[in-house]
Amino acid sequence: MDLDPIFKRVFGDDEPERLGSGWWSGVTAVFFGMLGLFGALCLRYPEWLTTPSVRAAVPLALAHGLIQGSLALSFLAGLLSGLLRKRKVLGLTGVTFALLGSLIGSSAPPPAALGERGVFGLDWFALNLLLTALVFVPMERAFPLRPEQGPFRPGWTTDVAHFFVSHLLVQVSLFTTLAPARVMFGWAATPELRALASSQPLLLQFLEIVLVADLTEYAVHRLFHGVPFLWRFHAIHHSAQAMDWLAGSRLHLVDILLTRGLTFVPIFVLGFSEGAVYAYLVFVSFHAVFIHANVRLDMARLEDWIATPRFHHWHHSAAAEAVDRNFAVHLPAIDRIFGTHYAPKGRWPDSYGISTNPVPEGYVEQAVWPFTGRG
Ligand SMILES: [Zn+2]
Ligand SMILES: [Zn+2]
């Protein structure tokens, strides 16, 4: 049965339609993406696109739920199609509709106040993925380290799933990031200390946060490498065999929560101003992605001061001489001080990953792997 010749003409996709070819998931992605996008537009511009009687009959919360459901289904189906099908146009169209719908929907009046929205942030996920992709995809095209490596390299769907889950649970992880510091170190955060730290110029506070955060990150990161039980969680991050902007999000939830929770402790205790902390959060969300990116930029002059892709790519190298080196996220000087710096001038690693390669591919497999005795 030729379901939809228009579809084929519009998308220039003449591959087979049988089950498992990615055709049905692609069609599902486009259909629900359009539905969700339309629903989001209705939410955003109710006075133009909906009638008062419909508005009265459909509870806003239900409409939000259905639209978010359509967008999520479209997104997942789009990913599945992208995975199964050689031509990515159907899947990408569905994903684009889903992202657009999420963006438009997120600027619509919320069904309840922000604090009561629950723990899922599909809009946050969509916004972040879109913005990050908008910055890094063109950058990787313009200055590629490995030009032959496309955005759809092996393992990319696993990494999108990691990106998806960590952003979907943003409110949960924000809570677990802040709670341990508040509960355990509330006593240490005195008003005097806060007054002292937050009265400094913003730029100085920002630099201090970078230093304090990276000292903690260095210590926690080294523990993740040194303690066998913790290494099983961090090994997920090192299982990436191709480096690009998306590979950085390959992190086990235990890794994310422990690292973030502990890094926040000194920032909280010292009591920096909110503006300086936000500035750091924006910086770290860019920098942590950047150091994984598939880009070759001439940063020789900066390399001593700030972590570059070359510095962190060596951390992911499979070569024996680079194992357990370059633990810092922002400041290579910390590795120099503690004798763990490794970045031979002008050279890049040949390959990435763990030489024994014990970690399975796939999000669910990686989420449970540290708890199994395997590998
Ligand atoms: Zn590491
Ligand atoms: Zn990394």
Instruction: Give yes or no for residue 361 having a pLDDT over 70.
Output: yes
Distance (Å) from CA 239 to ligand 2 centroid: 10
Distance (Å) from CA 288 to ligand 2 centroid: 8
Distance (Å) from CA 22 to ligand 1 centroid: 35
Lowest mean pLDDT among 10-14, 84-88, 101-105: 10-14
List, in sequence order, the alpha helices (H) in the chain.
5-11, 23-44, 46-49, 52-57, 60-84, 89-106, 122-142, 156-168, 170-185, 191-198, 202-226, 228-238, 253-270, 274-290, 309-315, 332-337, 363-368
User: Which pLDDT tens digit goes with each residue over 281-312?
Assistant: 889 989 999 999 999 988 888 999 999 999 99
Instruction: Give yes or no for residue 2 having a pLDDT over 60.
Output: no
Residue burial 217-233, b: 16+ Cβ < 10 Å; e: rest: bbebbbbbbeeeebebb
Lowest mean pLDDT among 54-63, 141-150, 346-355: 54-63
Rg (CA), the chain: 23
The larger pLDDT score, comparing residue 130 to residue 283, is at: 283
Distance (Å) from CA 316 to ligand 1 centroid: 7
Q: How far is CA 107 from each of CA 35, 100, 115, 124, rounded to the nearest angstrom? A: 18, 11, 16, 11
Q: Quick one: pLDDT at residue 104?
A: 79
User: Which pLDDT tens digit goes with each residue over 191-217?
Assistant: 898 899 999 999 999 999 999 999 999
Distance (Å) from CA 277 to ligand 1 centroid: 24
Portion of the chain with pLDDT greater than 90, in percent: 42
Other beta carbons less than 10 A from residue 189's beta carbon: 15
Distance (Å) from CA 103 to ligand 1 centroid: 33
Residue burial 282-317, b: 16+ Cβ < 10 Å; e: rest: eebeebbbbbbbbbbeeeeeeeeebbbbbbbbbbbb
In the chain the first and final C-alpha atoms are separated, in Å, by 47
Instruction: Compute the distance between CA of residue 43 and CA of residue 61 in angstroms, rounded to an integer.
Output: 11
* Ligand nearest, relative to CA of residue 235: 1
Distance (Å) from CA 297 to ligand 1 centroid: 23
